[in-house]
Structure 1
Amino acid sequence: MPSPTVTEFETHRPYLTAVAHRMLGNRAEAEDAVQEAWLRYARQPAAAIRDARGWLTTVTGRICLDQLNSARVRRTAYPGEWLPAFVVEPDAGPADRAEIADQVGLALLVVLERLTPEQRVAFVLHDAFGVPFDEVAAVLDSTPAAARQHASRARRAVSGAGVRHTAGPAEQRRVLDAFLAAAQDGDMRRLAAILAPDVVAVSDGGGVVRAALRPIHGVEKVTRFFTGLVANRFADVSDLTMEPVLVEGSAAVLIRGDWADGGRLAVVLGVAVDNGLITGLFSQQNPEKLVLGDLE
């Protein structure tokens, strides 16, 4: 009996990759999950699959759920705060930013990392892609009522996360540039004026690079942290550069330089912005989670 064809599968690949990307937060892992779904699909008799898109969504979802559960176990021993891997792309200006509508967005990606695997799968499938709860339940090996509950809890967690983000890339860039200029000038008053009252700063060093081990909350603490960082720690860095980049379609900056001891500094800082104020600052410093591509 013939198996499904590559052509049939390829029509669904972009959709499956988008689903897996939102679930896993890493495009390379998402592509691997979709490739595994293809291998399973190719082993099925063609007559056994009546709804290829539905079958592939279920299989891809289960593969992603397994990966998320494995990652949750690894994170229990992770030193400090966990941020997703930052896949960094050049930001050449407004023309580039017009092509990023299908990106997840850094702020949402950070919030999704806080959900349980079941909540994340249910939220992504149902809220982002409109998959009915009976099909979500098949992915989770649960009942539709349980799948609905997972999605509801995820929705509440996302809406109550405090990291509000409504700004487009141009406003993100403007606010981030103003933040960096104030921090470099050591102007605490100007810096504080850019921050929302409930701002949070999260750094991920992975135990490899020195970073704050816990989130920093509030205008005063965040202001002191970043002005101190520039005045003290970055004072030992030579050839310091700040390059505008994109992470998941969101404005960010790639900070690089050379430490006095011969080491190399590489940090990517992204933001969440709401009503012209920064609600979240996300600093990825773990070299294993910085994917710089052509920027290497």
Structure 2
Amino acid sequence: MNDTKASAQSADIAEQTERLARLTNRAMIASAQMQGHAVKQASGSEYALMDAGTLAKAYGTFWTDMMTDPGKLMDIQQTVGTEMMAAWQSMFGLSSDVPVKDKRFKDQSWSDDPIARSYRDVFLAFDRAANGLLDRLPDGSKDHMRVSFYTRQMISALSPSNYLMTNPVARKELMESRGESLLAGLENLLTDLERGDGRLDIATNDDTAFEVGVDLATTKGQVVFQNDLMQLIQYDPTTEKVNRRPLLLMPPWMNKFYVLDLRPGNSFIQWLVDQG
């Protein structure tokens, strides 16, 4: 019985090792693609979501404004110090736990593990202080809006819930699944990168759930023009006579471009074509 169990475990380890090797090869290719995009974005030959020059100007304006009111900055620093002290006291059980409403830390293990609790409390203290500072920014300035947006994104990225070594829930899942959760996560990441040719293209739907022309976009027609952003489709008439002036439809471009032509009996496009 023990020999059978040992053989099964050895087979699992061998399979995971082979799978990890394949994922490593995929990761090397994805990394090269990411570096290629980074070089193109730095040279200006490819569109970048974040312009470094614009962002530097925004933060420069932000700190200049803060220096004109040093009292405000000192208040924030004092608040940060107080919150950090409370967080460290909580780590050693010197203060009562405050209910945490953040959904990222809803699992009980964040409170039971003193190390994880300290990571959580320090992060939340920093998060509250930073958001308090951002809330004091005057409304209306584009630079301040940029600072607020990007700062909140960076703070969210620093959450201990995002990292294996600081997330007790992820560590527990790693042990219980014998490494499967880590391999599955890595495979999902690489699939998203491969889908975007080196850019992170996170899937929001099951690509295999529908088939174009069968149960999605079933109205017959031809693409008569296309560019990098759009396709112009001319649908085949279903009536003997059609209106002289064509009807141009511009559906939402973000994710819901298919909503007007779903399937037979549930297609606004097909209904319009049938009206001539």
TM range (shorter): under 0.3
TM-score (normalizing by structure 2) = 0.20
Greater strand fraction, Structure 1 or Structure 2? 1
Is the radius of gyration larger for structure 1 or structure 2?
Answer: 2
Q: Which protein has the bigger helix share? A: 2
Which has the bigger relative contact order, CA under 8 A and spacing at least 6?
Answer: 1
